[in-house]
């Protein structure tokens, strides 16, 4: 059998693939509906905040007071927290990392995965902005403030961006990360997401419930859009890989034609 015959047999039919692409776009929009369901925990949290539920209010006030007092007494710790919050884990930094990953996916011709990553990150920014405007929660007011932040408090934009960006980077890049290093990658992501929450509360610019709301909304958004991507994979015969292999494990062995064209039919 010649090379051309093997190439034709290896590639999925063009027409079903294009039809699946059109439905993929509609599924990304439908993911907004799925996101509504996935955001129920964040909605419950918001109801408790608005109702001034005593245990949650005490948690917010206690965490703010203790962490704020701790950083006031340790200037070196305060400097580190400021650098982490305003430079390392800043939403702009994280979005630039995702943008770089999208550029790399386009270079590898992983068009659909690039669209998923970009759409998820953009949706996170708009969702955070709209929820902040709708809720209008005032930021903490503490004695001797060490930091100020504009806008409303719920949800924490830093926390939501960290949750979404770290999840996107893991799900995109995991196929090209050696298996021995994958636990370290997950650990870095977890430390980043949790660390963002700690720094925002310690700086006195968010309540603990703002951070929790950002995490819940971010996780719900990633779950919803990942569902849309997995549905596209199933329709094109690629199957749904385990989360530890990323959304598109073919990236690890893709040829110059791109992972979506070189993936065997029926996978």
pLDDT top residue among 154 and 6: 154
| pLDDT value at 167 more than 80 | yes
For the entire predicted model, the pTM comes to 0.79
Band of residue 156 on the pLDDT scale cut at 50, 70, 90: very high
Q: Which of 45-54, 66-75, 231-240 has the lowest mean pLDDT?
A: 231-240
- Counting residues of the chain whose pLDDT is more than 90, the rounded percentage is 27
Whole-angstrom distance, CA of residue 86 vs CA of residue 232? 37
Q: How many CA atoms lie within 13 A of 150 on its CB side?
A: 1
Give the span between the Cα atoms of 233 and 257, in whole angstroms.
18
The pLDDT value given to residue 8: 41
For residue 91, what pLDDT is reported?
Answer: 92
What integer pLDDT is reported at residue 265 of this predicted model? Answer: 38
Instruction: Please give the residue that has the higher pLDDT: either 133 or 30.
Output: 133
Q: Is the pLDDT of residue 99 over 90?
A: yes
Residue with tokens 């930091």: 147
Average pLDDT, the chain: 80
DSSP string, the chain: --HHHHHHHHSPPHHHHHHHHHHHHHHHHHHHHHHHHHTHHHHHHHHHHHTT-HHHHHHHHHHHHHHHHHHHT-HHHHHHHHHIIIIIS-HHHHHHHHHHHHHHHHHTT-HHHHHHHHHHHHHHHHHHHHHHHHH-PPPP--SS-S----S--SS-HHHHHHHHHHHHHHHHHGGGS-GGGHHHHHHHHHHHHHHHHHHHHHTTSS-HHHHHHHHHHHHHHHHHHHHHHHHHHHHTT-----GGG-S-GGGGT--TT-HHHHSPTT-
Domain ranges of the chain: 16-254
CB-CB contact of 95 with 162 (8 Å)? no
Q: Is the pLDDT of residue 46 over 90?
A: no
At 193 the pLDDT is: 95
What pLDDT does 117 receive?
A: 93
């Amino acid at each position: 059998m010649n090379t051309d015959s093997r190439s034709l047999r290896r590639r999925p039919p063009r027409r079903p693939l294009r039809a699946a692409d059109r439905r993929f776009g509609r599924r990304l929009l439908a993911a907004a509906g799925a996101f509504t369901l996935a955001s129920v925990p964040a909605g419950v949290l918001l109801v408790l905040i608005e109702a001034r539920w005593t245990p949650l209010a005490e948690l917010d006030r206690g965490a703010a007071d203790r962490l704020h007092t701790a950083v006031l007494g340790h200037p070196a710790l305060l400097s580190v927290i400021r650098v982490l919050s305003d430079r390392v884990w800043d939403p702009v930094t994280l979005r630039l990392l995702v943008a770089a990953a999208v550029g790399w996916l386009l270079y590898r011709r992983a068009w659909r995965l690039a669209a998923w990553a970009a759409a998820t990150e953009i949706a996170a920014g708009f969702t955070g902005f709209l929820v902040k405007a709708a809720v209008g929660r005032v930021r903490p007011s503490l004695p001797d403030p060490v930091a100020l932040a504009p806008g409303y408090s719920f949800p924490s934009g830093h926390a939501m961006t960290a949750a979404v960006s770290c999840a996107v980077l893991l799900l995109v890049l995991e196929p090209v990360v050696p298996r021995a290093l994958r636990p370290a990658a997950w650990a870095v992501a977890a430390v980043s997401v949790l660390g963002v929450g700690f720094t925002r509360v310690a700086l006195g610019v968010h309540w603990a419930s703002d951070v929790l709301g950002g995490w819940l909304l971010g996780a719900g958004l990633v779950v919803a859009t990942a569902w849309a991507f997995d549905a596209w994979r199933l329709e094109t015969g690629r199957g749904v890989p385990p989360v530890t292999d990323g959304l598109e494990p073919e990236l690890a062995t893709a040829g110059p034609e791109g992972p979506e064209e070189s993936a065997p039919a029926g996978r």
